[in-house]
Structure 1
């Protein structure tokens, strides 16, 4: 079921992109300009392509919500981190690496960390 809704969602997304790109530009960004007597009278008449775009947008939102609901129902209550085995394997080949004294701080016999003298 999830795959069917996902395919419909992708078709709606591509159709919505195409419908928006086919619409006539009104000039000016964000509906500014275009002449006329102010914002109340500058509203364009609803075209068939505009109504189709709204229909595609509503379908896109519905499939988005449906995919979210389906995904939430299919989600398991365990985390991915729960499946990771953090313990080293047991057996003959399981040994800890010998890092030597390279990680230990210098003892009193060694050279000082800060050179003396200028």
Structure 2
């Protein structure tokens, strides 16, 4: 039932987008010519598109509410597990051996190496050497 209503809502949404895009911003509707007293005059087409838009919008909102109610009723009633227990069955990867450590900080070795080899200063005119 949920899947059917979801597909139906997608179809209604596509139809709603199409109907809205067919309307002129001035309210002229399709702009189809014809007899002024006929159903598909410019005014009649505008009225038809306006009514169709309103109907599809009401149907879309109704489907949204129905889907929300179904999703809430089919949902699990269990509470969220807020404990911090970990699964100990998964193996814990060891840190890579090629990372030099200073104490427990892997970035301290990189900072110490950068402090030992300072970057060459820029020349007096502000140029930076190409080897940087």
Question: Map of 1:64-79 to 2, 5 A cutoff?
Answer: 64-78=64-78
For structure 2, the 5+ residue unaligned runs are 28-42, 96-100, 106-132
- Partner SS state of residue 69, structure 1: helix
Corresponding residue for residue 52 of structure 1: 52
Task: Provide Cα deviations, 1:50-83, integer angstroms capped at 9, x if missing partner.
Answer: 100100000000000011000001110235657x
Note the C-alpha offset of 1:24: 1.5
- TM-score when scaled to structure 1? 0.56
Note the C-alpha offset of 1:89: 1.6
Corresponding residue for residue 103 of structure 1: 104
* Matched positions, count: 84
- TM-score when scaled to structure 2? 0.51
Note the C-alpha offset of 1:86: 1.2
Structure ranking higher on relative contact order (CA contacts 8 Å, 6+ apart): 1
For structure 1, the 5+ residue unaligned runs are 28-43, 105-118
